[in-house]
Structure 1
Amino acid sequence: MRENASAGQPVLSIENLTTAFRTPDGWRAVIRDISLQVHAGETVAIVGESGSGKSVTALSTMRLLPPDRARCEGRILLEGRDLLKASEAEMRAVRGGSIGMIFQEPMTSLNPVFTIGNQIAEALVLHQALSWKAAEAEALRLMERVRIPAAKARLHEYPHKFSGGMRQRVMIAMALACRPKLLIADEPTTALDVTIQAEILHLIRELQREENMGVLFITHDMGVVAEVADRTVVMFRGDMVETGSTEKIFAAPRAIYTKSLLASIPRLGTMGEARSPRRFPEVDPETGMATGGRETKAVAPEAAPILKVDNLTVRFDLPNGRVHAVENVSFDLRPGETLALVGESGCGKSTTGRAIIRLIEPTAGSIVVDGQDVTRAGTRALRAMRRTSQMIFQDPFASLNPRITIGSAIAEPMLAHGLMGKRESKARVAELLEQVGLSPAMADRYPHEFSGGQRQRVSIARALALEPKLIVADEAVSALDVSVKAQVSNLLLDLQEKRQLAYLFISHDMAVVERVSHRVAVMYLGEIVEIGPRAAIFGNPRHPYTRRLISAVPLPDPSRRGMARPMLNEEIKSPVRAHDYVPPKRTYLEVSPGHFVQDTAMAEIASLSA
């Protein structure tokens, strides 16, 4: 525990908090009898899966739940003052003043019609009675403090011009503008790249030390918990099942659910020289019984590639330049094989995947899927090709039509391709739902009636409807809870074994990539800088950028906290070039069988070396 963390009165004391929501059947408690304390300079983590009550606890503390549909019982004390008895006017002074909050999704938390500087300054005008001119000057200082490059020039820009990592820094600047006594961080790093996540975590710790601020950190990422938390509170279905120092929770968990959470964590470096992916251990949260963990079958090296990409280039013209999103990318993929495509946001991973499916038109190069050149395919040939290759998107809720049932969504591609009639499709939908671990009776439900993990299973079932040979999985498990992530990853591995599916697995989660992939390709600024067998990439990374990605992964071991050097370099460089820019010719060295490293442009990113 940090210095002064346990001295004196706690900054926040939650005592026997029960929060209930109004339903047609009466009031239903969603969190029950929650008690915790946060002292100055201390970080307390609340962990658990979606629906466990983590965010409801935070929203109850901030009094942000609708009073006509939610009620809170118990006490929430901020330095001894009960917030549940405070008036709404008093709470407005607390929110953003005494308590700052970082929300999970910065794009929906920032107002798109106001500039960044205006939104940071607003909190200072309201809570510290500064003039707009003085508040804007302080906003600039805060932007520089959270290391936003060219802060002065970006002060008057709008949120859509900032990347996810930069928007999250803006949210931190807003939350810390009035020097709060308590910071509530609700999943502040979920879905961020590992390097940006490392920077955000380091930034929060550094600012916490400067202000001696208490931090309530809400997350489902146990690696992040090990990295930042002094004490941990574990929640399950609205109940607090275990609490204690983070070191003790990790070393000797007592609750069965805590044991299941820790057992489900993908740990970097556990695969060794294994040739094939290995299933994640799945643990029943109520019995603690573990299953899985076996290695899957190896891919036959003599199999002909189902996908062959040669010199793929995708560029987008802008008024003042050109985005070199993907530049001369080449690789192949065999049946039953998983090639993981990794890198930071903006490196070209998703653009590559979308170009292969022809959701984006390639600028140059060839893409051959099952013997057909996708880039030259007409409308009819492209339609036929879509039976061979399918895509699983990162956000299943956004990719499912909210107005039709999931049964209709799964049947739609079969009907569109004329594979069967409506009666036969119903039986096929039931079969597909069973294959992905869902009940056929769920076919009549709508997407909003499912959890995130269940919706992703529906997306997988829809992708399997046409019996494809190739699936592009674009961040398919990145935003899922740790146990759901294990279940969905295992489902993908099982389906691969049964059907010899080829996966292009696009991800920034290096621990999951190590577990599920046969080979790994690392992308930086639209180019593949290193590609090879999984064991070679993780066991002997040769490119400085690959080392940076691996070293930024948080370790799920509190005793090793701080061993990985924080990455505080500037944001990833821009892929925008002048219209007359000619990319240099890249060459690759084969450092071991099948392991290739780009030997040009090393000087360009030497600063990224760990």
Structure 2
Amino acid sequence: MPETHSPASTRPVLSVSNLTTALRQRDGGFQTIIDDITFDIAPKETLAIVGESGSGKSVTALSIMRLLGGKSSRISGRVELAGRNLLDLTEPQMRAIRGNDIAMIFQEPMTSLNPLMTVGAQITEVLIRHRGMTQTEARRESLHMLERVRIPEARARLDEYPHRLSGGMRQRVMIAMALVCKPRLLIADEPTTALDVTIQAQTLALMKILQEEEGMGILFITHDMGVVSEVADRTLVMLRGKAVERGSTAELFASPRHSYARALLAAVPTLGTMEGVALPQRFPAIDQVTGKAALPPPPVDTVSADEPPVLRVRNLTTRYAVGRRLIGGPKFAIHAVENVSFDLRKGETLALVGESGCGKSTLGRSVLRLVEPKSGEIQLQGTDIRKLDTTGLRRMRRSAQLIFQDPYASLDPRYRVGTTIAEPILAHGLASRAEAQERVARLLERVGLSADAANRYPHEFSGGQRQRISIARALSLEPAMIVADEAVSALDVSIKAQVLNLMLDLQESLRLAYLFISHDMAVVERISHRVAVMYLGEVVEIGPRNAVFGNPQHPYTRKLLAAVPKLEPSRRDRKPMLSNDEIPSPIRAAGYEPPKRSYRMAGTDHFVCEN
């Protein structure tokens, strides 16, 4: 397939020719993962690589960066950066290039950030190593970059450790670290996966501005076709290690030629398609061979207002102490969740949306008492879980499970996948060991993996595959409620559709209740019954999905909806607008009590904060 070039420059920043990568298997042999890939990236140009998890997108990036082990991989072809073949360089020469001439933003920030070093120390290390700055100069530049990626309280965050930050803020730290040396080429592997829509829009605008200023080329790996339409000049579609289609983004979106490219576009959830539809809708089932979409079955109403709620939350408040006085306790407190109330019924999905750091994940953990609330009432199936002892909490967690945002951090790397999924089944005495293994095989197949995946370790899977394993583990106890914290954020569009359809199937057959935490507004519109919008720990708007999306009343809700990427490649030519508005901080002086909020009714079960 001939390579077409952008007119942005006559000489590419990166030229990849006939790249082929094979990885060593358990039997000692090698399996080809990347098969004869060729592409160029010009200065100021963005090439997007799209495809399903396991298609070879990330392995392509790791091959370019020479981050695959020499003994466990075989890489052939040419990878030229400014005329130098990176495959011929020594490891010390590559270390001088990584982070300086080529920077990479990885998909999972917690696997890339050192948990023993502060955020500031990790960014300044890059500047000292590659730019020869003093500690003072590097710290000043690091602070500036954190402010540019809109980290709230950036000066204080410099001295925080990664585990103290939300998933979205950790990803913004990774972006700041990658851009701080102004590289010639930026490889962005799912850089906005963990970001809410407003920060995603600002991050993409920042990357575009820096790209224009520095003449930087960008290799953008993603499964978000809306982002591709807004940022990519050209797009390369990968399937099972091969490039099956490439060309300008506008042409590919308007008239995809390969059936797989058509399938990818058909599976993309689009904001606004649920107008006037009362119940959650399954996604079309896409045949990846023909690219045809089979209409999903009609939805079934699984919610009854006559039944008591599965989860009842009243005036829930969770705060974290920050800083210590010599005498007298903490100096500050993070108001992560503040005076939140809602009900969640059997068969219902309540979606929590809002910016990273707004308290969504803390709220999800608080209702399961994985984080201890400061005050409020939490009733799960009529039981006040704040009064439960350790034994009671253990029994309660059979009825309520959590799907974590970062699958790699929640899967024990020492255990095979089958052991991890079987562990809760055996711990609760629900099956014998042999029966548990049979149940594990069925669960893996239900989430789109083969049964023999049970014998492999987490590091042997892609990010999307690891998330499916986490979902299988959460389903293993057949709970009444699941808190899904960005449960599908790491999945490509077609697998995301399959997993969400699976969740809706389970909800229909088992009347599961979902507390669905997400920044993907198109997905939220498709699968939720009700939506709660959070801002700085408080719910500013809550109501039926059609009411919140069709008639948003709070300014922040309207801002979130306006920031959602659209499948319109023509929008790519717009001049990026980078907001310098500072995100207010949730940190308050110890003892501070926020004013009591008042809500007005904007419609049936639709409430909006007025102050």
Does residue 322 in structure 1 map to residue 325 in structure 2?
A: no
Which of 542, 546, 552 is 2:553 aligned to?
542
The answer to whether the 8 Å contact 1:277/1:295 transfers is: no
Evaluate the alpha carbon distance shift between residue 562 and residue 378 of structure 1 in structure 2; reply closer, same or farther with a 3 A threshold.
farther
The 8 Å contact of residues 393 and 475 in structure 1, kept in 2 or not, is answered as yes
Distance 1:156 1:532, change over 3 A: closer
Q: Which stretch shows the higher mean deviation, 253-262 or 117-126?
A: 117-126
Decide whether the 8 Å contact of 1:4 with 1:40 is kept in 2: no
The answer on whether the counterparts of 1:221 and 1:482 sit within 8 Å (CA) in structure 2 is: yes
In 1, Cα distance between equivalents of 2:400 and 2:475: 10
> For residues 48 and 351 of structure 2, what CA distance do their matches in structure 1 show?
31
Alignment of 1:312 with 2:322, yes or no, is no
**Contact map agreement 1:186 1:219 (CA 8 A) in 2:** yes
Deviates most, 444-453 or 228-237: 444-453
Q: Deviation of residue 591 (structure 1)?
A: 0.8
Structure 2 CA distance for partners of 1:61 and 1:466, relative to 1, 3 Å: closer
What does residue range 74-113 of structure 1 map to in structure 2 within 5 Å? Answer: 74-111=77-114
Shift in Å, 1:533: 0.7
Give the letter for the 1:557 counterpart. Answer: E
Correspondences of 1:350-499 after superposition (within 5 Å): 350-422=361-433, 425=436, 428-429=439-440, 432=443, 436=447, 447-448=458-459, 452-499=463-510
Residue in 2 aligned with 1:531?
Answer: 542
CA distance in structure 2 between the aligned counterparts of 1:141 and 1:426, rounded to whole angstroms = 52
Residues 523-542 of structure 1 deviation map (CA, whole Å, 9 limit, x = unaligned): 11221110011111111111
Report if aligned partners of 1:19, 1:70 keep a CA contact under 8 Å in 2. Answer: yes
Identical-pair percentage: 62
Partner of 1:507: 518
Counterpart pick for 1:190 among 188, 193, 214: 193
Is the counterpart of residue 273 in structure 1 residue 276 in structure 2?
yes
Instruction: Indicate whether 1:19 and 2:21 are aligned.
Output: yes
- Residue-by-residue CA offset, 1:501-534 (whole Å, 9 max, x unaligned): 1111111221111111010011112211100111
Q: Which residue of 2 aligns with 1:556?
A: 567
Does 2:68 align with 1:57?
Answer: no
Quick one: structure 1 residues 334 and 562, their matched pair in 2 at CA, closer, same or farther if it must change by over 3 Å? farther
> Aligned partner of 2:481: which letter?
L
Which residue of structure 2 aligns with residue 6 of structure 1?
Answer: 8
Q: Deviations over 1:176-204 (max 9, x none)?
A: 44443322222222212222211111001
Which deviates further from its counterpart, 258-267 or 90-99? Answer: 90-99
- Residue from 291, 300, 304 that aligns with 2:304: 300
After alignment, is 205-214 or 554-563 more displaced? 554-563
Of 207, 210, 214, the residue aligned with 1:207 is 210
1:454–1:151 distance in 2 versus 1, CA, 3 Å: closer
> Quick check: 268-277 or 64-73, which moved more?
64-73
Greater shift, 353-362 or 192-201, is seen at: 353-362
**Post-superposition shift, 1:335?**
1.4
Measure, in 1, the Cα distance between the counterparts of 2:474 and 2:164: 33
Cα distance 1:434–1:327, how it changes in 2: closer, same or farther (>3 A)? same
Q: 1:496 deviation in Å?
A: 0.6
For 1:360, what is the secondary structure of its paired residue?
A: coil
Contact 1:276–1:295, Cα closer than 8 Å, also in 2: no
RMSD after superposition: 3.2
- Contact persistence 2:103–2:183 (CA under 8 A): yes
Change (3 A) 1:118 1:506: closer
Partner of 2:325: none
Partner of 1:219: 222
Tell me, in whole angstroms, the C-alpha distance in 2 between the residues paired with 1:462 and 1:294. 27
Deviation string for 1:334-361 (max 9, x for gaps)?
A: 2111111111222222222222222223
Q: Is the 8 A contact 1:470 1:502 kept in 2?
A: yes
**1:284 partnered with 2:317:** no
- Paired with 1:399 and 1:158, the residues of 2 have a C-alpha distance of 18
Q: Which stretch shows the higher mean deviation, 273-282 or 407-416?
A: 407-416
Deviation at 1:144, TM superposition (A): 5.7
For residues 93 and 450 of structure 2, the distance between their equivalents in structure 1, rounded to whole angstroms, comes to: 49
* Unaligned segments of structure 2, at least 5 residues: 323-329
Q: Which residue of 2 aligns with 1:603?
A: none
Q: C-alpha separation between the residues in 2 aligned to 1:548 and 1:564?
A: 19
> Equivalents in 1 of 2:403, 2:150: separation in Å?
35
CA distance in structure 2 between the aligned counterparts of 1:188 and 1:333, rounded to whole angstroms: 32
SS in 2 for 1:320: strand
1-structure distance, mates of 2:231, 2:56: 21
**Cα offset, 1:568, TM superposition:** 2.1
Deviations 1:11-41 (A, max 9, x none): 2221222222344443432212111111122
CA contact (8 A) 2:313 2:340 kept: yes
> Residue 254 of structure 2 aligns to which amino acid in structure 1?
A
Distance 2:38 2:291 in 1: 25
C-alpha deviation, 1:423, in angstroms? 5.5
- Deviation of residue 174 (structure 1)? 4.3
* Cα displacement (A) at 1:573: 2.5
Q: 1:147-202: CA deviations, max 9, x gaps?
A: 66676676666656665555555544544444433222222222122222111110
* Correspondence for 1:343 among 340, 354, 357: 354
Task: Report matched runs for 1:33-48 at 5 Å.
Answer: 33-48=36-51
**Contact between 1:121 and 1:132, CA under 8 Å: does it hold in 2?**
yes
Equivalences, count: 598
- Taking structure 1 as reference, are residues 178 and 443 closer, same or farther at Cα in structure 2, changes over 3 Å only? closer
Distance 1:189 1:246 in 2: 19
1:428 CA displacement: 5.0
Q: What does 1:243-282 correspond to in 2, within 5 Å?
A: 243-282=246-285
Range with greater deviation from structure 2 (516-525 or 555-564): 555-564
In structure 1, the residue matched to 2:327 is: none
2:326 match: none
Which one of the candidate residues 517, 520, 528 is aligned to 2:528? Answer: 517
Amino acid at match of 1:586: R
Matched, 1:334 2:337: no
Distance 1:157-1:599 versus aligned 2 partners, 3 A rule: closer
CA contact (8 A) 1:342 1:508 kept: yes
Tell me which moved more, 332-341 or 118-127: 118-127
Distance 1:561 1:532, change over 3 A: farther
Moved more, 247-256 or 421-430: 421-430
Deviations 1:17-71 (A, max 9, x none): 2222344443432212111111122111112222222222223323333333333
2:39 & 2:568 partners in 1: Cα distance? Answer: 23
Task: Return the offset for 1:389.
Answer: 2.5
Q: Secondary structure at the match of 2:526?
A: helix
CA distance in 2, matches of 1:106, 1:441: 28
Letter aligned with residue 19 of structure 1:
T
Q: Distance in 1 between matches of 2:508 and 2:429?
A: 28
In structure 2, the residue corresponding to 1:278 is in which secondary structure?
A: coil
Larger deviation, residues 111-120 vs 532-541: 111-120
Could you tell me the TM-score, scaled by structure 2's length? Answer: 0.88
User: How many Å separate the matches in 2 of 1:65 and 1:500?
Assistant: 45
Q: Quick one: distance in 1 between partners of 2:475 and 2:564?
A: 32
State the distance in 2 between where 1:452 and 1:89 align.
29
> CA offset at residue 560 of structure 1?
3.4
8 A contact 2:467–2:490 mirrored in 1: no
Q: Aligned partners of 2:223 and 2:116: how far apart in 1?
A: 32
Measured in 2, the distance between the counterparts of 1:404 and 1:90 equals 36
